[in-house]
Chains A and B, each alone.
Chain A
């Protein structure tokens, strides 16, 4: 028990950047747009967060800046896919490349630098609850915000008017258009906000998690988030479960290494990626053809009203 609690607590911390990225992408995909540029957005978010935190000394301004930076780069992808009807897969890849390269380029002088960043904030009463307390309530504020985000998204998507419109745009843009919903505007809004949230996930890595800048520091978390959206079947609560599962794997792997295991580092490092494939396979086999039933039906396809049959 003494060993497990620290690991679970670390799982929550490790999983948080992935959770933000997954939640952001869920919003985007719910509107029908596929954004594969998460890795690039996260890296841009990580750099922006780091740089602004370094210069202003205020981590919250840094997070806000990262959010805006995320929206800015996502705008390119959004414009290409929503207004110009470009191939969403290729555009996302381009965003990954451009974002990764730009973050490397911009961050080239900052490698190894550290900042104070965002510190821990124990929640007074809740963190003393046995078991649950240390695991969930002994982290920095961004973790707590992610909890709120999960619940808020769940309520928003299923019980509000705007959530209804969003789901309609993703599932049946023609129907949404015919009742007067502006499909393009809806897609822009959620793609941009989604991208911003993804960027916060990246900023978490540099501002709260490691408090330093390293080249390519997200190590594929953006891609794992893309997979997690499918694992979560576009549902915010399941996304949290998936993110913490991956966080757990990473935490476990780090502990093993620290304990001086004989298993070579490189093989351990493969674990998250192999796990992702396994997870996708398990879902696909279990749900069979019914899996993509809950996917937004228009995912990846452009929408133009004037298109004739």
Chain B
């Protein structure tokens, strides 16, 4: 079934794409052969997803051409691309949550009879499943599945449609170490079957482990294509960023002070009314960073919202500086010095249509001196916003610019500046460096460490295990609303053990097993 002719399976030439003035792709050349794993490497915002979305027919390129198996193709819609044998597994699941796995499998297929032949579909799924080693439950609804399971369904869906080129967009961002291992096995299996695979990532280790060739993009341009055997981690990083990159994070020694915030036996429900946090207790000490690792959807979101007063805990107590909090609302928490950097910047943390000044006072608009009586003193707001913008280097044409026009990095800097003004006692940071380029990421991490020096108690939730291990003084793993274990020495614990904890095995059990061995 694989294309064995001469020449590449897919060839893209001179691809250019601009989004409202912002050049996402500039004249890019990219090829993939069959039986090859070709990685697309680059920082967030380098243009990798845009390029692949063009290949998938989601975007129309402003200029450039695409050849599939030697034939020039024009993709006006995803349908054209799929019919040409391209299959993309998107970073954010493109499955319909309310439908079952088997319904998603055949959605949009042309040669399908009107009255859905359920048994036949499930049968075909089963044979594909076993051939590629992808276990799925055909009758389950998508919203019931974990992200890892959803990803398997997405890959199976693409294979079901007889894709020859598969594109995997940052697939490991949401997987445990074990699940990533399984994914790599699947990729090698597909490679052996003759498929061409594009692996989009910004994680150097994985790219080096998985691929035959690597193409590096930077700010919309192609920097180069190298054979994996002939390059190093440092060389790749330099090509990605454009200058030498140091991989070390400088962290001073731990100096934990008194307990700033304590949670005792709290139970929190999620949006559907089901328990997401089930009897969790933790202590946050001044001058210490507590990292929380875990697969998304295991209660981190609800835990963080409880800790800032956005969500009520059904049972249990929350204490700040030793005093139990009686009134459960965000303003009370803010008044006690709790600050929050949510994962969802444009959604929760900021008001996109309002300008910088109006966003700057979101957390303190009711306090003196910003407001006096019932009015807001906009002159003071101006000074306040100006000081944030200067101190945190937010790049913006003016203070009246609507915040939606700022880049991801500048949005994060603005939010940081706002949250950190007023010396927080407790800082809850969720995925603070997600989607940021290297410079902004370094800035955010440095800022968090500085707050630690200043004595703030910090809770850090992140999907980036490297980041968690490097920044945390103590590291906990959350699974189904409870801690599987907390360690005081994050650097010492193995990836494998972390993976086991993320899958639900308690630390004592793991350590018990290790002793027995």
Contacts and interface: CB of A to CB of B under 8 A. Distances in A.
Direct contact of A and B (CB under 8 A): yes
A164 B78 contact: no
Interface in A155-198: 159-162, 164-165, 167-168, 171-172, 174-182
A172 B271 CA distance: 19
Nearest to B104: A175
Contacts of A306: 59
Nearest to B271: A289
Contact of A172 (B82, B97, B106, B115): B97
B63 interface: no
Contact of B272 (A159, A164, A290): A290
A309 B90 CA distance: 14
A297 B99 CA distance: 12
A161 B112 contact: yes
Contacts of A171: 96-99
A264 interface: no
B114 interface: yes
Contacts of A160: 114-116
A280 B106 CA distance: 36
A161 B113 contact: yes
B373 interface: no
Contacts of A176: 96, 107-108
Contact of A182 (B56, B77, B93, B94): B77
B114 A181 contact: no
B318 interface: no
Given A167-B99, A172-B97, A180 B77 contact: yes
Interface hub of A162, A306, A308 (most chain B Cβ within 10 A): A308
Interface string A73-104: 00000000000000000000000000000000
B78 A172 contact: no
A181 B112 CA distance: 14
Given A159-B116, A160-B114, A181 B58 contact: no
A285 to B, nearest CB: 14
A168 B96 contact: yes
B79 interface: yes
A199 B109 CA distance: 33
A168 B107 contact: yes
Nearest to B82: A180
Given A159-B115, A165-B108, A288-B273, A178 B90 contact: yes
Prevailing SS type, chain A contact patch: helix
B477 to A, nearest CB: 29
A109 interface: no
B77 A290 contact: no
B288 interface: no
A165 B114 CA distance: 11
B96 A289 contact: no
B94 A178 contact: yes
A178 B114 contact: no
Interface hub of A161, A165, A288 (most chain B Cβ within 10 A): A161
Contacts of B82: 179-180
Prevailing SS type, chain B contact patch: loop
Interface string B75-91: 00111001100001010
B273 A289 contact: yes
Contacts of B93: 175
B103 interface: yes
Given A179-B82, A180-B77, A289-B273, A164 B107 contact: yes
Nearest to A296: B98
B19 interface: yes
A305 interface: yes
B95 interface: yes
Contacts of B273: 288-290
Interface hub of A180, A294, A297 (most chain B Cβ within 10 A): A180
Contacts of A308: 19
9 closest Cβ pairs, A-B complex = A180-B79, A179-B108, A172-B96, A178-B94, A175-B94, A181-B108, A168-B96, A180-B108, A180-B78
Given A168-B108, A172-B95, A179-B82, 13 more contacts: A159-B115, A160-B115, A161-B106, A161-B113, A168-B96, A168-B99, A168-B107, A171-B98, A176-B107, A178-B94, A180-B108, A289-B271, A305-B59
Interface of A: 159-162, 164-165, 167-168, 171-172, 174-182, 288-290, 294, 297, 305-306, 308
Interface of B: 19, 56, 58-59, 77-79, 82-83, 88, 90, 93-99, 103-104, 106-109, 112-116, 271-273
29 contacts: A160-B114, A160-B115, A161-B115, A162-B114, A164-B99, A164-B103, A165-B108, A168-B107, A171-B96, A171-B98, A172-B94, A175-B95, A175-B104, A175-B107, A176-B96, A176-B108, A177-B58, A178-B56, A178-B78, A179-B94, A179-B107, A179-B108, A180-B77, A180-B82, A181-B108, A182-B77, A182-B79, A288-B273, A294-B98
